[in-house]
Amino acid sequence: MFNRNLKIAVQKAGRLSEATVELLKKCDIGFDNGHGKLRSLAFNFPLEMLFLRDDDIPQYVEDGVADCGIVGENVLAEAESDLMIVERLGFGRCRLSIAVPRGFRYRNIENLAGKRIATSYPLLLGRFLKERGVFADVHTISGSVEIAPGVGLSDAICDLVSSGSTLFTNGLEEVETVMNSEAVLVVRSDLSRPLKKIFESLTFRIKAVSEARKNKYILLNAPNERLGEIRNLIPGMKSPTVMPLAQEGWSSIHSVIADDDHWPVVEKLKASGAEGILVISIDQMIR
């Protein structure tokens, strides 16, 4: 059987591009992603990157030009793609939202009936409005959607929002969330057995990196009389590692804690007598 590299479609520029490249490199996959490159072969893994416009990624994977891809969930939904989502990657989080100019008297979605709404996501917006029985004039545009109300093209917009700073700068305020989105790993269903094996290996690495991002490695010194109390604060994946120190009456504890709440845990550890606390980022984590 003819063997070839697994082809992955990734965004060549934009909000997901840098994070995707960082993810693959944290998977210890080395490649050259120099400016303007459209494709790149990995040095140490049977993988070929295709650098594409985000809107093109679902179609390239569906057509078999690429075997898998990393794309925003919003793009996948707008394309009405049936591709399988294998992993939610935890970066590129945003929301597709409706925003109106400040001063627009907005109480509920019905206030948009008969209004002009500019968007790059007509399918998702149209479905959202239809489900709520609101009939509006949807203008499909690309590029800087947020300027549309200011130049008289629309009464409102529907666009991706992360921090909201762009809306604020353009005198807009968010009023409705159409959908939440993040980067996802997708794959076509008809991979050959050799390609499926490569994809499984890639997915294994990606999951290890994604899991590591959610956790921190913690090391600390603790007085032996407080070991029980401190161990209960950091249970770890199974239980923390406890090793005696050269200084009598003290032990070193190593464990893993969730990144989201590590500061409250560190404060409790300090209050319980722990010293020399180190909190370290993890590159890969395999459960």
68-72/6-11 β-pairing: parallel
CATH superfamily of 6-89+182-212: Periplasmic binding protein-like II (3.40.190.10)
Per-residue pLDDT, 152: 92
Per-residue pLDDT of 189-247, as tens digits, reads: 999 999 999 999 999 999 999 999 889 999 999 999 999 899 888 876 677 889 999 99
pLDDT for 34 beyond 70: no
Contact 88, 182 (CB under 8 A): yes
For the chain, percent of residues with pLDDT exceeding 90: 81
Per-residue pLDDT, 232: 87
Per-residue pLDDT, 94: 95
Per-residue pLDDT of 158-180, as tens digits, reads: 999 998 899 999 999 999 999 99
Q: What is the token pair recorded at 203? A: 């997915």
Per-residue pLDDT, 144: 86
Per-residue pLDDT, 14: 81
Phi-psi bin for 21: left (phi > 0), alpha (psi -120 to 50), beta? alpha
Q: Classify domain 215-281 by CATH number.
A: 3.30.70.120
d(CA 104, CA 50) in angstroms, rounded, equals: 44
State the architecture of 94-181 in CATH terms. 3-Layer(aba) Sandwich (3.40)
pLDDT band for 147, please (50, 70, 90 cuts). Answer: very high
pLDDT for 2 beyond 50: no
Looking at residues 251-270, what average pLDDT do you find? 91
Per-residue pLDDT, 93: 94
d(CA 10, CA 49) in angstroms, rounded, equals: 7
Per-residue pLDDT of 68-103, as tens digits, reads: 999 999 999 999 998 999 999 999 999 999 999 999
Which residues of the chain does CATH 3.40.190.10 include? 6-89+182-212, 94-181
Question: DSSP readout, the chain?
Answer: ----PEEEEEESSSTTHHHHHHHHHHTT------TT-SEEE-SSSSEEEEEE-GGGHHHHHHTTSSSEEEEEHHHHHHTT--PEEEEE-S-S-EEEEEEEETT---SSGGGGTT-EEEES-HHHHHHHHHHTT---EEEE--S-GGGTTTTTS-SEEEEEESSSHHHHHTTEEEEEEEEEE-EEEEE-TT--HHHHHHHHHHHHHHHHHHHHHTEEEEEEEEEGGGHHHHHHH---SS--EEEE-SSTTEEEEEEEEEGGGHHHHHHHHHHTT-EEEEEEE-S----
Per-residue pLDDT, 45: 95
pLDDT for 146 beyond 70: yes
Per-residue pLDDT, 35: 65
Q: What is the pTM of this model?
A: 0.86
Which residues of the chain does CATH 3.30.70.120 include? 215-281
Per-residue pLDDT, 1: 39
d(CA 188, CA 21) in angstroms, rounded, equals: 21
User: Smallest Cα–Cα separation from 128: which of 178, 73, 175?
Assistant: 178
pLDDT band for 287, please (50, 70, 90 cuts). Answer: confident
